[in-house]
Amino acid sequence: MKTRALLVAAALVAFTGSAALAESIQHGNLTIKDAWTRATPPKAKGGGAFVTITNNGSEDARLTGAVSNYAKRTEIHEMAVNDGVMKMRKLDEGVVIPAGETLELKPGSYHVMFMGLNQPFKMGEELNVTLEFEKAGPVDVTFPVMKMGAKSGKMHH
Amino acid sequence: MNVAKTIRYGAWAAVAVLVAAVSAVTVMKFVQDDVPQAATVQIGGPFELVDGKGQVFTDKNLNGKPTLMFFGFTYCPDVCPTTLSDMQGWIENLGPKADDLNFVFVSVDPERDTPDVIADYVAAFDTRVVPLTGSVDQVKKVVKDYRVYARKVPLDDGDYTMDHTAAVYMLNGDLDFVGTISYQEPEETALPKIRKLLGS
Ligand SMILES: [Cu+2]
């Protein structure tokens, strides 16, 4: 209950606070929002995209994969920097969003990974990526492209 | 979760390497005071690589200036672009003082990061960062000498990704390793470290 009240409050703040926030998508019991990616340098072959998924259902959900036309492969990855070493792995089983919880795909953590980019992502463009969920099925999500090296999807002035 | 476990084990290995490396530096400094010729594990040293124009670039090209050196690869979706954009921010923050430092990005993936590729990649962030790559053997040597963790991880379809050290190395004008700036370290602590490096 408390969480819901907080969510409502947060949503209100979000809506009144900024018009630049990406729209949130309702997909079954899932709320998908704050999707973003960053511009890539010329000749870069890898890119990551990020998004926040809230599971409002009473059952765990699972993000199993992603599909796009932008790269040879689009996958769900986990990245971690532990004691100075960066490791990145494809999640063959996808990633679970526990019932009632929010999963943030974000820099330094889970991400949609583009491997073998066909062409660089340019700031100001938008990517269309299909996220695939185990039970809820596929959903199209728009990822605005922020500047190179951006650390969040928030607009910079 | 298997991935988490693998990452954790890998991390402990990395800790061991880092601890060994840091103590090696301490020991080395200690030893140097008494017995200069003692053989010890050292981080850093001379190298020969290739720059973005395909030309030979060695430690001599650093001109005795202190250096910030990062090891990464262009397939990296996150750590490398973030660090390069951090570097760009440091350069901007330092103003003209940035000229007294070298900023270097060394590829740990020379097979894919040809001079041409890495030159464009790095220049997109800041042309004052020197892009370096080399032959597989040249890079292997630098990685070893600088105690960098870099490992090819095969993917199911024959492709691969790289695990690699995510910290920026700080080297003084004699190429001695004096410390690191960690991944996503806030400017409030990174910049004083860099200024100190400049002053020493
Ligand atoms: Cu990835």
At B157 the three-state DSSP class reads coil
- Helix locations, B35-125, DSSP H: 79-94, 115-123
The identity of residue B135, as a single letter, is: S
Q: Per the structure block, which two tokens stand in for A32? A: 């998908």
A124: burial class by Cβ within 10 Å (0-12, 13-18, 19+)?
A: exposed
Q: Min CA distance, A103 vs chain B (Å)?
A: 16
Q: Which of A27-36, A100-109, B149-158 has the lowest mean pLDDT?
A: B149-158
The identity of residue A23, as a single letter, is: E
Q: How confident is the model at residue B146 (pLDDT cuts 50, 70, 90)?
A: very high
Can you tell me the distance from the alpha carbon of B79 to that of B86, in angstroms, rounded to the nearest whole number?
10
| CB distance B99 to B93 below 8 Å | no
- % of chain B surpassing 90 pLDDT: 68
Q: What are A29-76's pLDDT values in tens digits?
A: 999 999 999 999 988 889 999 999 999 999 999 999 999 999 999 999
Inter-chain contacts counted by CB atoms under 8 A, chains A and B: 129
Judge: A148–B85 Cβ closer than 8 Å, yes or no. yes
Q: Min CA distance, B95 vs chain A (Å)?
A: 20
Could you tell me the distance, in angstroms and rounded to a whole number, from the CA of residue B135 to the centre of ligand 1?
A: 25
Judge: A85–B121 Cβ closer than 8 Å, yes or no. no
| CB distance A29 to A136 below 8 Å | yes
* pLDDT computed for residue B114 by the predictor: 96
Contacts of A86 in chain B (CB under 8 A): 76, 78-79, 163-166, 183
The position carrying tokens 């943030």 is A104
| CB distance A111 to B38 below 8 Å | no
Nearest to B120 by CA among B57, B171, B51: B51
Judge: A48–B78 Cβ closer than 8 Å, yes or no. yes
Could you tell me the distance, in angstroms and rounded to a whole number, from the CA of residue A81 to the centre of ligand 1?
A: 12
**Nearest Cα residue in chain A from B118:** A43
Option in B7, B77, B123 nearest A82 (CB): B7
pLDDT at B155 exceeding the cut of 70? yes
Q: How confident is the model at residue B134 (pLDDT cuts 50, 70, 90)?
A: very high
